[in-house]
Structure 1
């Protein structure tokens, strides 16, 4: 696309160019999540309302940042605007890593209030550092590494559930594992530039690595949603064992 004003960037939604697929592979899910998720979350059955709120915001954040970045990346404001949009895109990823994990941490340590509070604070501090590293990273590989500690911290809670120390719905853990598997696969495909590295030019408009990553990210968010819903409904009928 040529260098464009805000209006011209918006008009680019209606003609074919190399960013169109990137916009729509996250734009369509963004609209669907914005409309359908509030209807799908059983608010009246959730005993800890803020968990539902942060989960909803987590599901929206990566698509919102991505759409703004890909839609306005050729804005006439030039490099300063581009780098601001890139940071918004990265912050969207950081937000789903941060906000998306809070219900997982909370419910895993549901029966240990003090440890739960400390763990939530530690994860928030860790995520703040990850956000700084991600927005200042100079390559996609370093940007992906910024999220490694978050992923390891999150995986430790999956282990707690797996060995029976942590609490949570019996069905949610497999959703969370699938969530992370899809996210990692999407990141690897994006970094390795498969399939366009084998047929340069063929995938400029459709089915390139970035679009494949977008689709896998949406799938990852769906698994997060299903897992968190299972957990939020499960705690209504769960009583911590007495000492």
Structure 2
């Protein structure tokens, strides 16, 4: 990828206060820009370029330097949190459906219960004051999924052979990404050394992609199994 010449970048102290959320990333901040200026930043090097190209949070990372300031940033962050919540919700519903395929009296309640829990978790994430608080908010969804995985692991649930390890890896990767992001590693160990590449948020993005691939690897055989499986009669 050939980079174009961009505007003069800012250091951490000169960047807008609402973008000063990682004090270990010292340089490479884009100045406040118009919408077209934000789009142009797709083609020059800055400290959000890696985040833009490694994850689904493209709108948030691309337009976070918009000249609309903190008001625009807050809306972008809310949109991003809604996307995370939707992935956590819609990704888990087919897992619950397949796990409780032979328990028709319990399956609807579990699906509705997880959806309601996801709504609460999403609201807490939207109103969370910090990155760690947002991670704790989504932890409720993770705890509910672990209950479902546990039911499958001890034989109280059903599903395709081999899908459960994919789901466990899915949540392990997602949790690891969240912890790395909260801990600000590795840039905490070397402030300024990971401003453009290899910082915690980029690592979280890559781990999140791996998590979604594990979800896909587990859900596809699960749904195929559910389409052909005949539950035993009591």
Given the two structures, how large is their TM-score scaled by the length of structure 1? 0.83
- Equivalent positions of 1:27-46 (< 5 A) are none
Higher helix share: 1
How far is 1:235 from its partner? 1.4
Structure 2: segments with no counterpart, 5+ residues: 1-29
> Counterpart of 1:169 in 2: which secondary structure?
coil
How far is 1:2 from its partner? 1.0
Partner of 2:221: 230
Q: Distance in 2 between matches of 1:103 and 1:139?
A: 31
Q: Distance in 1 between matches of 2:176 and 2:115?
A: 25
Alignment partner of 1:91 is 2:82: yes
Partner of 1:13: 42
- Equivalent positions of 1:127-206 (< 5 A) are 127-206=118-197
Partner of 1:122: 113
Alignment partner of 1:24 is 2:53: yes
From 164, 188, 198, the counterpart of 1:207: 198
Alignment partner of 1:100 is 2:91: yes
- Structure 1's consecutive aligned runs of 4 or more residues displaced over 3 angstroms after TM superposition are none
> Counterpart of 1:213 in 2: which secondary structure?
helix
Partner of 1:72: 63
Partner of 1:31: none
The CA RMSD measured in Å over matched residues stands at 0.7
Partner of 1:29: none
Q: Distance in 2 between matches of 1:211 and 1:148?
A: 21
Q: Distance in 2 between matches of 1:122 and 1:157?
A: 12
Greater C-alpha radius of gyration: 2
> Counterpart of 2:125 in 1: which secondary structure?
helix
From 54, 67, 73, the counterpart of 1:82: 73
How far is 1:104 from its partner? 0.6
- Equivalent positions of 1:43-62 (< 5 A) are none
Given the two structures, how large is their TM-score scaled by the length of structure 2? 0.86
Structure 1: segments with no counterpart, 5+ residues: 27-62
From 212, 216, 227, the counterpart of 1:221: 212
